[in-house]
Amino acid sequence: MKRNLLSHRVIWIPLIWILILQLSLVAKLYAQEPITVVKWPAEINAEMLLGKQLFFDKMLSAKQSMSCASCHRFDHGGSIPQAKAQQNDGSFSRYNPSSIFNLSNNYPLGWEGQISSVEKQISNLMFKENIMGLSWPKLVKRLKNQPHYVRQFTQLYPDGITQTNIAVAIAQYELALTTPSPFDAYLQGNQQAISKDAVLGYELFKRYGCVSCHQGKKVGGNLLQKIGVINPYNYNNAKNTLSDLGRYNSTGEEHDRQVFRVPSLRNVADSPPYFHDGSIETLEQAVTLMGRHQLGLEISTKNVRLIIAFLSSLSGTPHPELLP
């Protein structure tokens, strides 16, 4: 009996070490990938939930006809189906609204990369009265007339309802809107999480060099880059629209002409139209044009389809408590 137990132990110990070695090799392999995993927040706190109320509250606009969610729809990848967003004064936004999902305070925001944090972006939106039509003093006054907001702000902030606290609460909510996807499960070792086409598409995405601009947690969003690196991306010189000029609008520097923040590709399959001006209707067009202008390549129809299979695996949803 003792001899049998000993023999089993001799067999199992090497097997256990082999399993541990295999798991460590898998972990090392995926740790070296250019794209890194996103996860839901470890906990959902009261500040995030207050920010959620504000994000969906139409009281933040002058006519109480629109909220932050009006330009960042959860059923459309955090953006809108239109090329530009209609603003409070009837005009349209300069750029196609970027997704509100998977933001970060570590990188520049805005298509021109001119905003350094989510809080500053929120402050800028309220300062521009053509967008929401309501100045900060008017918004603070309006919220102070709402007992439920007075109570919640007082519980969270010693100074209650202020411009800073409003921006911080909304920012905490927006920063919590991470969207773990099937591809994240794949990165963590679940090889069945995405289709074979998506795996092949990811390999092509890396081989072509798309990851040079689209990497990290957001699969982009952390660089400023010229559109038309290899082959010029011509804008309409006759119209010379501000959206075509990109970062040049912020700096006035010639080298910033047609330079834009590289967009995140998370949830990209859910958020057409594409590009800074919303001029590209399909993901097939977007991938083809990026290959041509940024990489100097004509990507075959088959490989475009495979890359789109990969991009589709990047779609996920925020934490259930943070949904509308």
The pair of structure tokens assigned to 109 is 């925001």
241 compared with 68, residue with greater pLDDT: 68
Q: In the listed set 175, 202, 229, which residue is the last one of a domain according to the structure?
A: 175
Domain extent at residue 244: 182-317
pLDDT digits (tens, 9 = 90+) for 229-253: 999 997 655 555 778 889 999 999 9
pLDDT digits (tens, 9 = 90+) for 143-158: 999 999 999 999 999 9
In a domain, 32, yes or no: no
* 62 and 117 part of one domain: yes
* 153 and 171 part of one domain: yes
* 203 and 291 part of one domain: yes
In a domain, 160, yes or no: yes
Number of domains the chain is built from: 2
- Cα–Cα distances (Å) from 119 to 51, 159, 167, 168, 262, in that order, read 12, 18, 5, 6, 20
- Please, is 139 exposed, middle or buried when counting C-beta atoms within 10 Å of its C-beta (0-12, 13-18, 19+)? buried
pLDDT at 30 over 60: no
Q: State the chain's mean pLDDT as an integer.
A: 89
Average of per-residue pLDDT across 46-63: 96
pLDDT digits (tens, 9 = 90+) for 110-141: 999 988 899 988 988 776 777 888 889 999 99
What pLDDT does 4 receive? 52
In a domain, 21, yes or no: no
pLDDT digits (tens, 9 = 90+) for 156-206: 999 999 999 999 999 999 999 999 999 999 999 999 999 999 999 999 999
In a domain, 97, yes or no: yes
* 198 and 165 part of one domain: no
Question: How far is Cα 307 from Cα 210, in angstroms, rounded to an integer?
Answer: 10
Q: Residue 31: pLDDT band by 50, 70, 90 thresholds? A: low
Sign (positive/negative) of CA torsion 179, 181, 183, 186?
positive
What pLDDT does 235 receive? 62
